[in-house]
Amino acid sequence: MFQRIFDNPNKSILLFFALLVVTVIAVYYPSLSVPFYLDDRESILTNVSVHSPTLDLLVNGPDRMRIIGYFTLWVNYQIGGLEPFGYHVVNLIIHVLNSLLVYVLAYQLFCHFSPQGLSSTELKKQQTLHRLWALAITAVWALHPLNTQAVTYVVQRLASIVTLFYLLTIIFYIQVRKQTNLTKTAGYSVLIVICIVAGLHAKQNYVGVVVFLLAWELLTAPAKVRKVLLWFIAGASLVILATAPFIPWFWQTLNAFTRDYSAATRPEYFYSQMIVLWDYVLRFFYPFSLQLDIDQNLQKSMEPIVGLSLLAHLLVLGVAYKLRKILPLLLVGVLLFYSGHVVESFIIPIKDLAFEHRTYISNIGLVIALAALLRYWADSASVMRGHWLVGGLAVVLIVASITTVKRNVMWQDPLAFYANEVKLSPEHPRANASYGNELMKLQRFADAEVYIKKGVDFNIARGKITASSLIAFMTVLYEQEKYQQASHIVMLGLRHIKRPLDRSNLLANLAYGYIKMGYCDFAKGLLKTALKLNPNNKDAKTNLAYCSGGRRGG
């Protein structure tokens, strides 16, 4: 079999890649009938920027920092409205394109670190081996079930789009490094600039590619280049330290801009992420308990588990650096893994501590690092090792494909999906609330109340109360005519929730309960206050018009 591949490598690789694309489409076919979930509502279903017939709202609105991704959502809406099928087709196309880029990148890396001075026959054989290894890396990554969240969950298209520009940047950068033709160097440099602009407007974690390229150069470049880079970093650090006391407004603005979650300090978030990163690695090697809501606790101090996790990360980096001359691809893979997490899993606090879609880029680094180790083990005269590798790869791909299909099938049924979420994370607030909401859609209100209440209680225990969870709790109580109990829930929320839009929504929902109890006059005062906080509150306007019409309890 191997001899046939070497005799006609181009045809064989093309055939294998076509088979891979067909397999990827097959395993993600169930995702085409998956409904919208969670953040899809805010980003797609109720997003006026996406629904607008022009791009004005998108260009000038809150989504402009991620305009590349939201532009694709806008195009989807203009073509197919709110039918999920079209959105999933685009997500799948992006994943297939990323798979192609993973192949190109892996092949380039193998060629980049190949021994020089080979004869034409040896070079041809080496290139064929590089293609086969690149194809194996691509297949494992493309079919791995840990990537399903970035592909199947529509709004996480942003993670797959930023990966596309992330990969293109590295691919073009490698081309720049090896070019001797000034025109081609300039052309690839222009493409890199385009990717930088597009990547930063796809998702902010694109900056990780800068960290990757800088770290790669520092660790693998010639001594003269490393010296220049170190002097540059040292100079920039001195400038920052010298100017920091004189421009406090800049650092305050930067601090506010680089956090999405105020309840955690940067050290606390860093401590937590040291454990989360190992959780991601475990899910990569054991992807059979995947979930949307990962239940991770915020680590308040350098606990022993945090210290051990940090030491383990440093050990991995140290070993990869130590072996850089023997296994340069191991170092590249490790750097790609950590750089992929440098924004969302480092010191920039984000509301959710862990999400599987954050591994989409970093999984490429994991597969490359693993391939580097396996190829080093396989590079011997033993043909048997090659057969073992092929057999092992076949088993891995079959298991990965089956698991990915099962995961996508589960996404098709929100009730089964969230039941599984609660099973895996019984104390996660959103998992319980989401399952309760699905039960409420089936008019199983008593059962729904149990889980929605758990979601609120778990949030309170964590020192966090959200308007959306309280409104869901009120809704299920209203459905059971427990109006008095619902009013107590709102009073609790109003003590802690200060955001005007959230307070407006809570007051509008509270007023609805009083209307149902026949107290329209009292409800009017609540509704007027709600409209002062948010003049665009449609529920408040509707209920105020209802009360002003003289009706009671309707």
- Give per-residue pLDDT as tens, 468-514: 888 888 889 988 888 888 888 888 788 788 888 888 888 888 888 88
Cα dihedral across residues 534, 535, 541, 545: positive or negative? positive
The stretches of 497-537 forming alpha helices (DSSP H) are 500-517, 520-533
DSSP letter, residue 61: S
- The class that CATH gives domain 416-548 is mainly alpha
Higher pLDDT, 539 or 380: 539
Residue 286: its pLDDT value, please?
A: 93
Higher pLDDT, 514 or 147: 147
Q: Contact 408/143 with Cβ under 8 angstroms?
A: no
Residue 16: its pLDDT value, please?
A: 86
Residue 62: its pLDDT value, please?
A: 81
Cα-only R_g, the chain: 27
Average pLDDT score, the chain: 87
Selection from 224-233, 441-450, 539-548 with the highest mean pLDDT: 441-450
Place of tokens 């990827």: 24
The tokens describing 465, both together, are: 């109360």
Res. 95 pLDDT band, cuts 50 70 90: very high
Sequence spans of domains, the chain: 1-202, 206-379, 416-548
Place of tokens 């670190």: 113
Has residue 524 got a pLDDT over 70? yes
- Report, as an integer, the average pLDDT of 148-156: 95
Residue 554: its pLDDT value, please?
A: 39
Has residue 526 got a pLDDT over 60? yes
Res. 4 pLDDT band, cuts 50 70 90: low
The tokens describing 390, both together, are: 């092929």
- Report, as an integer, the average pLDDT of 408-437: 92
Residue 22 to residue 92: CA distance in whole angstroms:
12
Residue (of 30, 21, 31) closest to 142 by Cα position: 21
DSSP letter, residue 44: I
Amino acid in position 312: A
Res. 553 pLDDT band, cuts 50 70 90: very low
Residue (of 206, 110, 197) closest to 167 by Cα position: 206
Res. 141 pLDDT band, cuts 50 70 90: very high
Res. 552 pLDDT band, cuts 50 70 90: very low
Q: Contact 475/510 with Cβ under 8 angstroms?
A: no
CA 307 → CA 53, 187, 310, distances in Å? 53, 46, 5
Tally of CA atoms within 13 A in the half-sphere of 506 that contains its CB: 25
- Report, as an integer, the average pLDDT of 13-42: 92
Q: What SS3 class is residue 26?
A: helix
Res. 69 pLDDT band, cuts 50 70 90: very high
Residue 358 to residue 468: CA distance in whole angstroms:
24
Residue 382: its pLDDT value, please?
A: 58
Lowest mean pLDDT among 181-190, 461-470, 471-480: 461-470
Res. 9 pLDDT band, cuts 50 70 90: low
174 alpha carbon, distance to own chain's centre:
26
Residue 414: its pLDDT value, please?
A: 93
Residue (of 103, 95, 78) closest to 24 by Cα position: 95
Residue 324: its pLDDT value, please?
A: 87
As separate numbers, helices (DSSP H) first and strands (DSSP E) second, the chain gives 27, 0
- Report, as an integer, the average pLDDT of 275-279: 94
Residue 240 to residue 250: CA distance in whole angstroms:
11
User: Helices 67-80 and 157-178, interaxial angle, to 10°?
Assistant: 130
Has residue 164 got a pLDDT over 80? yes
Residue 459: its pLDDT value, please?
A: 84
